[in-house]
Amino acid sequence: MKVIFLGSGNLATRLSLEMHRKGMTIGQVYSYTPENARQLAGRLGCLWTTDLEAIETDADLYVFSLKDTVLANVITRIRPNDGLWVHTAGSMPMDIFSGHTANYGVLYPMQTFSKMREVDFSVIPFFIEANTSESASKLQQLAEKLSGNVRFLSSDKRKNLHLAAVFACNFTNHIYALAVKLLEQQDIPADVLLPLIDETVAKIHTMPPRVAQTGPAIRYDENVINKHLAMLGDSDMRSIYRLISQSIHKEARHE
């Protein structure tokens, strides 16, 4: 199986390296930025290009792993071919390929990727869909080589899943960044937070987060909440504190 990657970002990097490791042939990497294309192709030991016209037409699989804003445009500029075209975006519909090629689908690995950090693909949930049952079966076989956790999901449900993932990953990570900032202002080493963060996550492996909730906001302890608001110099952090505390309390009242 010959695979061509369009994109060289965090997801493209980790996914192409994993496919390579699993014995699939990565034939070519395209990126708008030559330095990025060269770098990823170097790690894969394959060809690279910055020219959409130069993308080879004999591959079995084309993986579009591009920013949502450029995906539609790039799709219109690929020369026709018989390969299966898939994108890896959580929030883009499969139909974006419609009219541009015969066989297409989506291969969405729900994970946070960084170029330099290895991840265990075997546990990553992959969400797939395809426009024909033949493509679906091909894509399923491919995804199951990468992960033990593969399921079909419609574009509509996938975009909701992606929204949930933004909360569960991007937002919580930013909240960690804000907590670290508070500690840095006090010259307290950031790593004292790790046991608390680990246990917060370990808990939700055994009970729903709703049940695991602790802290001053559940009982809306205005004494503590107001002291905290007064301590927050940054007005954005104050708004975030107020809004999330109100939301915690609202959910608690629904119990």
Site for its own copies in 189-248 (CB under 8 A): 190, 192-201, 203-210, 212-217, 219, 221, 223-224, 227-228, 231-232, 236-237, 239-241, 243-244, 246-248
Q: Cα separations (Å) of 218 from 205, 242, 253, 255?
A: 21, 13, 8, 11
φ, ψ of residue 108 to 5 degrees: the values are -110, 105
Q: How many CA atoms lie within 13 A of 48 on its CB side?
A: 18
Shortest gap between Cβ of 184 and its own copies (angstroms)? 10
User: Of the ranges 25-33, 43-51, 77-85, 186-194, which one interacts with its own copies (CB under 8 A)?
Assistant: 186-194
Binder to its own copies among 34, 117, 134, 144 (CB under 8 A)?
117
Binder to its own copies among 112, 136, 140, 155 (CB under 8 A)?
112
Q: Binding to its own copies by residue 91, rule CB under 8 A? A: yes
Q: Binding to its own copies by residue 70, rule CB under 8 A? A: no
Written as one string, the DSSP assignment of 57-116 is S--SEEEE---HHHHHHHHHTSPP-SSEEEE--SSS-GGGGTTT-SSEEEEEE-S---TT
Alpha-helix runs per DSSP H in the chain: 10-21, 34-44, 68-76, 133-146, 155-165, 172-185, 194-203, 209-212, 222-231, 235-253
Shortest gap between Cβ of 155 and its own copies (angstroms)? 12
Cβ closest to its own copies, residue 22 vs residue 210: 210
Shortest gap between Cβ of 253 and its own copies (angstroms)? 13
Shortest gap between Cβ of 173 and its own copies (angstroms)? 5
User: Of the ranges 19-27, 36-44, 58-66, 163-171, which one interacts with its own copies (CB under 8 A)?
Assistant: 163-171
Q: Binding to its own copies by residue 136, rule CB under 8 A? A: no
Give the full edge-to-edge strand order of the sheet including 104-109: 47-49, 25-30, 2-6, 61-64, 84-87, 104-109, 126-130, 150-152
Q: Binding to its own copies by residue 17, rule CB under 8 A? A: no
Compute how many residues bind its own copies; rule: CB under 8 A. 89
User: Of the ranges 16-24, 26-34, 80-88, 158-166, which one interacts with its own copies (CB under 8 A)?
Assistant: 158-166
Taking the C-alpha atoms of residue 198 and residue 245, their distance in angstroms, rounded to an integer, is 21
Cβ closest to its own copies, residue 54 vs residue 201: 201
State the DSSP H helix or E strand holding residue 27, giving kind and residue range, or none if neither: strand 25-30
